[in-house]
Amino acid sequence: MSSAARNVSTGVSTGRSVTDTLICDGAYLFETSLDVAAASALLEKIRAARAFDQTLFLDEAAFDRDPQYRGVNPRPGRNLLERFDADLAFVEQDRELVDALGEVLGPDYVIMDRKVVCGVPARSVPDWLKARIEGAPVNNLGPYVKPDYRDVTYFYGIDFHQDIIDFKDRDADFLTLYVYLHPVGRSDAPLFLLKGSHVLGATSFPHALARKDAETWRYDSPDGQSVDVRQAVLTGQTGFAAIWHPFTLHGTQPDTADHERISLRYLIRRRSASAAGLDMVNAAIRGPLGLESTRVDLAADGSPQIMSNTVRAAEG
């Protein structure tokens, strides 16, 4: 794997460092893939452990008897990836990836979280559930999945968001790492990422976005700043890897392929206060580095109270 950066929009090598690319784009795409054979072997084991079809879901009556919107994502002791520690060396020990993370976070960085993320294909989502979630900004399907299967995060499209969304009162001291375990094309719920959107700092979800053309969005922050950001659709081959800043806006449309999209998502933080590239990235940000309230789309019980979705309007 090479640690040369790719332009987030074109995939062309830029020759910039990891830190410089994050300062400019808010994301860094590795030029070549992680170990394809190891990624494929892990994918085979994950698929052998689970049928990613309608059998994942509660029926409508069972959900209505006891709706649970909180505590339905993977957690320690309920995380499918914990079965596969020995299979993750192709990610966690990849020399170029380790060097890139060390440059930005310092050599003693810490893995905060790692999990399997599944984009559920349209054919596997029950009709009753599709009707309920239509237009919702965050279609995390965890509430509707049988409890035994909540060791994976399942989604059916997620509006543009920042990964700081889950961390009230936390400064931007971490990065997200995403790895595709199989080829991801336009119909496989690829990530849509808004290049340069991190510069306005932390803003509450849902975000103020207006599409200007097929590739450009206007992004406004509550403090009156605005920036035009370019959309990149992160399609890629097996072992595709990217990292991004917790303020970089990204999302997905529903999976319209005939199969699920299986990926790995890591959150990785710095440990020490020693100087690292993330200091320079954060110094270039023009907005707050943390928020007391990161989202306003949920009711008190965790159910959605806003039914709008910006990324559905994206072209790619």
Whether omega for the bond prior to residue 206 falls within 30 degrees of 0, making it cis, is yes
Per the rule left: phi > 0, alpha: psi between -120 and 50, beta: everything else, 29 is beta
Give the separation between CA 127 and CA 314, rounded to whole angstroms.
24
Residue-by-residue pLDDT tens, the chain, 316 positions: 544 455 555 454 457 899 999 999 999 999 999 999 999 999 999 999 999 999 999 999 999 999 999 899 999 999 999 999 999 999 999 999 999 999 999 999 999 999 999 999 999 999 999 998 887 777 889 999 999 999 999 999 888 999 998 888 899 999 999 999 999 999 999 999 999 999 999 999 888 999 999 899 999 999 999 999 999 999 999 999 999 999 999 999 888 888 999 999 999 999 987 789 999 999 999 999 988 887 666 666 766 665 565 766 666 5
The pLDDT value recorded for residue 272 is 81
* Domains assigned to the chain: 5-313 (2.60.120.620)
* pLDDT score for 169: 85
Question: Do 311 and 253 meet the contact criterion of CB atoms below 8 Å apart?
Answer: yes
The residue assigned the tokens 């030029």 is: 31
* The predicted structure's pLDDT at residue 135: 75
Report the pLDDT value the prediction gives residue 184, as an integer from 0 to 100: 97
Please provide residue 229's backbone torsions phi and psi, each rounded to the nearest 5 degrees: -125, 145
- With vertex at residue 124, the alpha carbon angle to CA 117 and CA 57, rounded to the nearest 5 degrees, is 75
